[in-house]
Amino acid sequence: MTYTYHIPRLLIGAPQGRSGKTTVTIGLLAALTARGYRVQPYKKGPDFIDPSWLTKVAGRTCRNLDSYLMDQESIRQTFISHAQDADIAVIEGAMGLFDGVDLAGSGSSAEIAKIVQAPVLLVVNCTRMTRSVAAMVSGFAHFDAAVKIGGVILNQVARSRHEKMLRAAINEYCGVPVLGALPKGSRFTIPDRHLGLIPAGENEALLEAIGQLGEAAARYLDLDGIMQMARRWPGLTVRQAIPPAPAVQWLERGSATPRPPVVIGVIRDRSFSFYYPENLEALVAAGAGLLSVSAIDDPLLPDVDGLYIGGGFPEVLAAELAANRSFRQDLRQKIEQGLPVYAECGGLMYLGRRIHWEDKSFEMVGALPLEVEMVKKPQGHGYMHLEVLPGTPYFAAGQIIRGHEFHNSRVVNLDPECRFACRVLRGHGINGEYDGLCYKNVLALYNHLHAVAEPDWARNFVKLARSRRTGGN
């Protein structure tokens, strides 16, 4: 038996990075949402920051679709489970449309488009270009017969005469509709920093950019034409029914509701915001209740059985993190008492002794024998393969775990007697050879994992937290 899901959908791609995909995606989401459409956003690849903006704009949690970390079936299931009640699903691509990890384009945005059978809305940066735009669009339209270019967005258009020439060339030679043209102007961009865009939750004032992009999209994009393009594609057929994904229910402090058998704290504040929603859902599916924690505002760590510290920009808020001395000391004491803590990237930085950034040093938790120094160039950037070494309850020894890293920090003053958790097979990690430090029940890595790729992680984490709660550890 098969099931067919009719989901209007499109993927926003481009010939190359920095063409304006994120600008167009945010503007389109804002404009469609303002019209009353239910828009489900997705991001191709492992990125955390772009999804934070797409979530803010759409009012629905953005999901990552990554063919390096997820197989095709998992990608289709993730796509359908979250988009089946939406009016349209919009996937923001990454890099150039056909750019992947090998010559065949594995891991590319085009591969995602084929897996979910989505048409591509191609964003072209038209700076200093006229008739050549037709050659570019034609090449993308015919490069892979399985990838359908459903429409073109012209970006960085100089003036009305420039726009007319571009539209005429595409109409004459390509047979692909132009569905919008954005003029040049800094008001159509949003702020960024060393790892890309600034996270949406870090500074509420930055959200003003969303309104500007939405107004620009409503004015310069053919929203009706884009919706028609997304609706024309056939339904997605799968072998079994895919139910809508349940939403994560966060525990409320002081609630009269009985305490769950296992409570995992999740540090969610302006410093730590990089979490795949699937990771949080996997912890709940494994039997945990989730409690939101702030390393900036909470004076002490609440009563939890385990703690998850994701990535983020702790260096930006280092002064505030350092100022909350009572929380840091309480966390360190509980780590010494055996509290299970799983930390990724920014979480690793926070658990060390100090963060050095811009000629200043800030005291952190001090549970791990290391310090972290911020530098201008990325120290680790890309997908990772790690071989687990003996001694961590989160993974089996010898297991190969996948993930990705993206950090401008490096570990310094590392205790030579420290215990590493994983051998790096691909990537950089802590020193190019190893990633992850083990201390008591703490595991802290630069690697970000995705629960769809590593389903045992959540079960083992919750099992460890339950064991400590019941006195088994």
Catalytic residues: 345
Angle at 41 between CA 51 and CA 25, to 5 degrees: 80
For the chain, the helix, strand and coil percentages under 3-state DSSP, each to the nearest 5: 30, 25, 45
Per-residue burial over 146-169, b if 16 or more Cβ lie within 10 Å, else e, is ebbbbbbbbbbbbeeebbebbbeb
Tokens of 189: 């961009």
Tokens of 141: 């339209």
Q: Could you tell me which residues come within 8 angstroms of residue 88 by beta carbon, excluding any fewer than 6 positions away?
A: 8, 9, 10, 32, 37, 38, 39, 40, 227, 230
Asked whether the beta carbons of 279 and 264 are under 8 A apart, the reply is no
DSSP state of 201: T
Asked whether the beta carbons of 461 and 264 are under 8 A apart, the reply is yes
Q: Could you tell me which residues come within 8 angstroms of residue 146 by beta carbon, excluding any fewer than 6 positions away?
A: 114
For residue 320, is it left (φ>0), alpha (ψ between -120 and 50) or beta? alpha
Q: Could you tell me which residues come within 8 angstroms of residue 422 by beta carbon, excluding any fewer than 6 positions away?
A: 386, 387, 388, 389, 401, 429, 434, 435, 436, 445, 447
162's enclosing H/E stretch is: helix 160-173
CA neighbor of 49 nearest in space, from 30, 25, 19: 25
Q: How far apart are CA 169 and CA 160, in angstroms?
A: 14
Q: How far apart are CA 403 and CA 412, in angstroms?
A: 23
Sequence-ordered alpha helix ranges (H) in 185-239: 208-220, 223-231
Q: How far apart are CA 316 and CA 319, in angstroms?
A: 8
Q: How far apart are CA 435 and CA 444, in angstroms?
A: 8
Tokens of 16: 């190359």
Burial (0-12, 13-18, 19+ Cβ within 10 Å), 279: buried
Q: What are phi and psi of 356, to 5 degrees?
A: -105, 120
Q: Could you tell me which residues come within 8 angstroms of residue 204 by beta carbon, excluding any fewer than 6 positions away?
A: none
CA neighbor of 307 nearest in space, from 329, 325, 283: 283
Please report where in the chains the tokens 């299970």 appear, as a residue.
Answer: 340
